[in-house]
Amino acid sequence: MRMIQALFLITALAIAFWMTTTLAGGNDRIGANSAISMLVSGDPDPIFDDRFEVVAAPVETCADGAQCLVDCGDFSSTCVDGCTADLAAGEESTLMDLQFCAIEACFFLSQCTISDFNAPECVQCRLDVNVDPSSFGCTVEGMACGI
């Protein structure tokens, strides 16, 4: 019974954390190390050519969102917002399921504590789950996400 209560508490805390990081960020959608692609027409030298343009690559699938989080390197509201803003319908909840699994797995591996999901070792563990979910017991969520 205590195990069920602990899992419920962890899940509730993970949902609360996800909601606070997602909702607290406002509309700031520029993340550090975000995926960038360059569209170049003519001379690619931006100093001499005003046709040089940098455009953020679209993040449309759960796998794109997971990779975006890995590229961003943290779970700040800026990264979460930037990596989930353009997800296709249903993909955001699939990515959220993977993140919940990551938090639970990392908690049980003693990489995360209930009081700090942003400790460096916890963040690294959570990022590792986004790269290789099956190594952390998140095979189902990883497959649903396309990883």
Evaluate whether 145 touches 62 at the Cβ level (below 8 Å): yes
Cα dihedral angle (141, 136, 83, 121), rounded to 10 degrees? 160
First to last CA, the chain: 33
Q: What is the C-alpha to C-alpha distance for residues 46 and 28, in angstroms, rounded to an integer?
A: 26
For 2-13, what is the mean pLDDT? 49
Evaluate whether 70 touches 117 at the Cβ level (below 8 Å): no
- Looking at per-residue pLDDT, the higher value among 15 and 54 belongs to 15
- Which of the four pLDDT bands, split at 50, 70 and 90, describes residue 103? very high
Instruction: Quote helix, strand, coil % in the chain, to nearest 5.
Output: 55, 5, 35
pLDDT tens column, 19-35: 444 444 443 333 333 33
For 127-134, what is the mean pLDDT? 97
